[in-house]
Structure formats: C-alpha cells, structure tokens
Amino acid sequence: MPERTLAERKIVIYYNQLSRRARRLASRYQVFFENAAYDVKLLPSSASSVRDQSQLTQACESAHECVVIGGDGSINIVVNALIQAELQLQVVLTVIPVGTGNDFARDHGLKHWNWRMKTAVGAQTEAVGHVQSNNQSRYFVNHIGTGLSVDLMRLQPHWLKQSAGHVSYLIALARYLFGSMTRRSRVRRGKYWDDGQFVALGRYIGGGFLVHPHADRTNAMLARIRVPKMPRWRQIKALLNVLKGRIETTAAIEFERGKQFQIGDSEHSLELDGDIYFHGPATVTIATATILVSVPYFEITKGENS
C-alpha cells in the first residue's frame, strides 16, 4: 500500500458537544482512526455556528476527511464551512447519525453508528441546495421550509427531543394539527395563504417524512411542496397521506419539481436543515458547488450491478 500524504492522514471529527452519545462516539472514532495511523483533530460544537464554521475551515485546510457526529444541523454547518472555504472537493464528508431527525443519514441508508468502521467506503459527488434571501445566502443538504416546519420546531422543546428522539416530530405534528389554528404561521402567496411551504433536495424531512420520493442527490432536482390553508379535517387527512408516502397523489397538497423556486414572505422565518437562519422571501436553487460524501462502497456499486 502506498504511503499516505499528510492531508490523507488527517481527519477532523466534528461532534455535537451537547449530546452525551456524540461525545462518546467521538472518542471511539478517535481511537479507531489513531489505531489506523491517522492524525485526528477533535472539534466539539459550540453555541455559535459562525464560530464553528471558522474553526472547521482552519481544521479542514489540510484534512482529507471530516467526520460529523451529530444531526442535520451539524452537517449543514460543515457543508457551509467547506464550500465557503472552497474545500468541498478536497475534504470527504462522513456522517455518523446522532441527531433527532437524521434525514441526511436516512437518505444514504446510514443506520448504525459504526458503519464507517465496519464497511468498505467510497466517495461520491453530490449536489447541495442554495438559498438567497435579500443579502443573505446559505447552502442546505435536505430542505428549506417556512410556516409549518418552523411551527413544528417551536412545538419540539429540547426536553422533548432528548426524551422522545425522532418520535418528537410525530408528537409535534399532533400538537400542531389539533392545537389552536390561530397560532399557525400562515405564509402569504399572492391572494392565498399557505400553512407550510418547503423546498426539498433529499427524500426526507422532519425525522423521516417522505416528501420527495424520487430524489437523487447525484443528479439533483428540487421539489416544492405547499400546504394550503384548509379546514382542519382536510389537512389532517392530507398529512396522513404524506406520512404514508403518498405526497404526489394527495390533491390537497401542491407538489412540483424544478431547478429553482421562490419560497416564503417577509413576515416569516426560514429554517434550513432544522435551524432558523433568516427571513424570506427567498430564491432556492441547485448550487453550482458540489460536495464529496463518504458512503458504503456497496451503495455506489449497487446501481452499476442492477
């Protein structure tokens, strides 16, 4: 085996400092990589995504791989750091799912915390989304949402996420559907109102809700989903169909594919991959930049052998 270069021997492990499990897994992966003669840099998260992005940029400048031990929000921070520093095709992104939703990991079939230790690994080039709102912009890996998705975040306090895990999304959805309709964040669309608007890059949002069944991250197409204001009983029926994976055949919900969409209004917040960053309205597109994602080798060859 040829000797690895300095960059190929350096791995950055970025982990969610607030998660006991993430801290434990970070230590395990540190030992795993050091036993394989890698130079490992541990980088715990902080309360500031801006600070984390800056530290990630410095840490990844001479690295070959960045292992993210956390959820979709942590992945978003790493991807934005890599792209802004133009390191996205130098550093391979490896995801160890420890979040509440884990939609990015679910989309890649990554279920077990030790998959990177146990399987042959390859890297594939994937698209990311980009949102531009006024003078602000950011990249995302799963989706951008306003209205319903922001309301669901507010109905999931930290203690609920910690105690219920991904089931907290279903609990929040039930609270939303049967709660006060006057407290919903309705988004203006011309003469109409939407309870929710989403643009999805991946197949899943919100802890496993299938909203973009035919998504392909290597040949990307966005899907825009609108949930119009409607009577409670009709909305419950429509969202139950979404939970069953029938979003494209649910007449009450508007679904369309494309490369560019408008979303939101000036009165409501936008959330990207589970974190709120700024207000709409915004233009959502497929980014010109792509990223390298570490996946099990059999996932790469599966399409070639079929």
- List, for residues 226-263, the tens digit of each pLDDT value: 999 999 999 999 988 888 888 998 999 999 999 999 99
- Does pLDDT of 306 surpass 50? no
What average pLDDT score do residues 262-270 get? Answer: 94
- Does pLDDT of 2 surpass 50? no
DSSP state of 242: H
pTM given for the model: 0.92
- List, for residues 55-91, the tens digit of each pLDDT value: 999 999 999 999 999 999 999 999 999 999 999 999 9
Lowest mean pLDDT, pick from 1-15, 21-35, 118-132: 1-15
Q: What pLDDT shows up at residue 244?
A: 84
- Does pLDDT of 6 surpass 70? no
Helix, strand, coil share (%) of the chain residues, nearest 5: 35, 35, 30
- Does pLDDT of 275 surpass 80? yes
Helix spans in the chain (H): 20-35, 49-60, 72-84, 103-107, 115-118, 148-154, 158-164, 167-178, 232-243, 297-305
Q: What pLDDT shows up at residue 67?
A: 98
Helix then strand count (H, E) for the chain reads 10, 17
List of domains in the chain: 7-99 (3.40.50.10330), 137-287 (2.60.200.40)
Euclidean distance between CA atoms 10 and 196, whole angstroms: 43
